[in-house]
Homo-oligomer: A and B are copies of this chain.
Amino acid sequence: MQSGKNIFFDNVLIIGVGLIGASVALALKEHRASVKIYGYGRSEQNLKNARERGIIDNYSMDIHAACQNIDLVLLSTPVGSFTDIVFRMRSSLKRGTMVTDVGSVKGRLVYELESMMPEGIHYLGSHPIAGGDKSGIDDARGDLFRDARCIITPASKRNSDCEQKIIAFWETLGAKVELMDPSLHDEIYAAVSHSPHVIAYALVNALESINSQYLEYAGQGFKDSTRIALSSPEMWKDIAIYNRENLLQALHIFKKNLDTIMCCLEAHDATGIQREFLRAQILRMKLK
């Protein structure tokens, strides 16, 4: 892990002090105690809490006041709020400020955010893959990003100074940084994360449709399969909407694969069922 001297920001504003925002704050303080961290968010109670626990140094409920003299803005609210927040704050950012985010969706969103930046202010999208189904500062940890993957998604206007500093920022927090095209990012994450979330939510709802009392008989298999249905509906609704096309495509492909098994079942085709199960088992075994 790199030392705190690779954090090139003196004043950091965290917009949305939840699990990820607060974990970034804790990690930053661990690596460079002199960094000043400011918070902005919807709930003053949450910001007060974060200040009392020393997660942030101060906060403001006014976005313009919060932006004063900030070197790095980290957007860590649900992705659906990013453009609105940037629209409201952009006139208050000083020249040279860098803006990044921690959203699970990139694609068109990063081009849109980039195009909203005033002259002299650089935006670069980030997606640290950490946090799981938790949310809120109670679960925040300074080591949340250690050995986590962090995908950086440059858009149209590449700025090497900004890229270097954002990469160094995440690396100092322990993440393994990887650059990726924003559209590819969204296609991949629709397949490995966004569609599994939707399927998990639908699977729990199916149990409710059948008989919610059967939940009593749910064992480890059901628990593991649906753990991600514990994730924040607000956050995941935004991810679903913003990655709508890729997500719908991944879900259609999933349904086709499910239909293949269901057709075998309808036809009492035991060989076909075993073939489909085996195909999945072989691929799943590659995942450690």
Contacts and interface: CB of A to CB of B under 8 A. Distances in A.
A162 interface: no
Interface in A218-258: 218-234, 236-238, 240-241, 244, 247-248, 250-251, 253-258
Question: Which of A133, A273, A284 has the most CB atoms of chain B within a 10 A radius of its CB?
Answer: A284
Interface residues of A, number: 85
A198 interface: yes
Given A233-B278, A268-B241, A273-B240, A192 B219 contact: yes
| A132, A203, A261 pick with most chain B CB within 10 angstroms | A203
A237 B277 contact: yes
A288 to B, nearest CB: 9
Chain A contact residues: over half helix, strand or loop, or mixed? helix
A206 interface: yes
A77 to B, nearest CB: 15
A193 B206 contact: no
Interface string A180-211: 00000001110111011111111111111111
A10 to B, nearest CB: 33
A285 interface: yes
Number of identical protomers: 2
Contacts of A204: 280-281, 283-284
A287 interface: yes
A129 B218 CA distance: 10
A147 to B, nearest CB: 12
A276 interface: yes
The 6 closest A-B pairs by CB, nearest first: A233-B277, A204-B280, A201-B280, A206-B254, A237-B274, A202-B258
